[in-house]
Amino acid sequence: MKKLFTLIFSLFVFTACEKNKGEGGGKVLPDAEIKTEVLTQSLIFPWELVYGPDSYIWFTERGGKISRLNPRNGVIALVHTIPDVTSTGEGGLLGMTLHPEFTTSPYVYVVYDYRNAGNYRGKVVRFTFNNGVLIEPLVLLDQIPASSVHNGSRLLISADKKLLITTGDASVATNAQDKNSLSGKILRLNLDGTIPEDNPFPNNPVWSFGHRNPQGLVLANNKLYSSEHGPDNDDEVNLIVKGKNYGWPNIEGLCNTTEEQAFCALNDVAEPLIAWTPTIAPSGMTYYNSDLLPQWKNSLLMVTLKGTKLVQLKLDDAGEKVIESKDFFLNQFGRIRAVCQSPEGRIYLATSNGSNDKIIEVSSK
């Protein structure tokens, strides 16, 4: 039986958007009421949520399970357990995405960590969904350096049918600047694992580099955004541009010291849209543009671990600046790892507390 919690929030309006400056203020939207409902609990470190075309919520658990949750009744069906997953520290079965034409191409893409001759590595694998289970694993990319921390591992399929993969520096910070290493990157592959001809570096899966631990990835209005863990300062959200250097480990946050400014100028470093000190440990993101909760329209919704909240990042009309930030569910559910949304605009959250983890639905009251 589903357990219902109702929380009422007043969502404050944005009256200072850039497009309304000089026009006497913005249009005031009515307050909205938010309802939260725990759909399921007793999970162990869920890591990814995907709202599938079958109207089920697909999710991974770090120990190796892939499951489908019926959001209408809370019933979970186990789809597959990957036998060679090794969950060490923050590693294990992590990101997942589904083929955008799932009915005719029933492919499920996952990234997970495993032991290979004593080495800890990550790999991207495509499965085929057939009669309620996953079959025919096909390795698309292997030998990604992994560690007990800093594995990145968010997956996304773009509108042009390319697979995007975030990787962390796997505790070797200097590899993030090495374009011949898979660490500390956002990678881009064709859906069969081959390297696209229009990647920025010939015969190389690297799309952008200089990342520490990017755990959120979302495409909105033809722009790619990523959230990234800093060290003990400067967590970031970045607008990802083809071939760009994002600075790690030479740059932390903005290029705002003499040494950093010199490196940024020499290496064409892209600065973050927004940074946080103290850190909040940002993880999954989605882009919200639904009428269900109109105050969240044209916003990135990002969940956090250390920050124990959902952060709304309101974008300008061009999608190139964060013009306002608001926090929701602070300390309500603990650490939150993943977020996704339904076509109707309902939001789903997965906690990451290590025991009795939950998937929570957020909708209008």
Structure tokens at 291: 């009428």
Place of tokens 């959902």: 310
Where in the chain are the domains? 40-364
Asked if 139 and 133 touch (Cβ cutoff 8 Å), the reply is no
Q: What does the angle CA 9 – CA 11 – CA 17 come to, to the nearest 5 degrees?
A: 165
pLDDT score at 7: 37
Asked if 118 and 91 touch (Cβ cutoff 8 Å), the reply is no
pLDDT score at 35: 95
> Which amino acid makes up residue 146?
A
What integer best gives the mean pLDDT of the chain? 92
Please check whether the domain covering 40-364 is classified as CATH 3.40.50.2300: no
Place of tokens 């759909």: 39
How far is the CA of 158 from the CAs of 53, 84, 140, 218, 243, in angstroms?
16, 28, 17, 9, 16
pLDDT score at 33: 86
pLDDT score at 111: 99
pLDDT score at 303: 98
d(CA 305, CA 287): 19
Q: Which stretches in the chain have pLDDT values below 70?
A: 1-32
Examine residue 282 and say whether the peptide bond preceding it is cis (omega within 30 degrees of 0): no
Using alpha carbons, select from 364, 325, 349, 286 the residue that is nearest to residue 39: 349
Asked if 26 and 16 touch (Cβ cutoff 8 Å), the reply is yes
Q: What are phi and psi of 336, to 5 degrees?
A: -120, 125
Using alpha carbons, select from 282, 208, 201 the residue that is nearest to residue 248: 208
Structure tokens at 100: 């955008």
Asked if 148 and 196 touch (Cβ cutoff 8 Å), the reply is no
Structure tokens at 300: 């990135």
pLDDT score at 34: 93
Using alpha carbons, select from 37, 36, 45, 34 the residue that is nearest to residue 2: 37
Using alpha carbons, select from 299, 306, 294 the residue that is nearest to residue 335: 306
Q: Is the pTM of this model over 0.75?
A: yes
The DSSP 8-state label assigned to residue 104 in this structure reads T
Place of tokens 């926090």: 327
Query: What would the pLDDT profile of 83-136 be if each residue is shown by its tens digit?
Result: 999 999 999 999 999 999 999 999 999 999 999 999 999 999 999 999 999 999
* Beta-bridge mates of residue 121: 114, 145
> What percent of the chain has a predicted confidence (pLDDT) above 70?
91
Query: What would the pLDDT profile of 68-82 be if each residue is shown by its tens digit?
Result: 999 999 999 999 999
Instruction: Find the length of the chain.
Output: 365
pLDDT score at 349: 98
**Torsion angle, alpha carbons of 177, 179, 180, 186, to 10:** 100
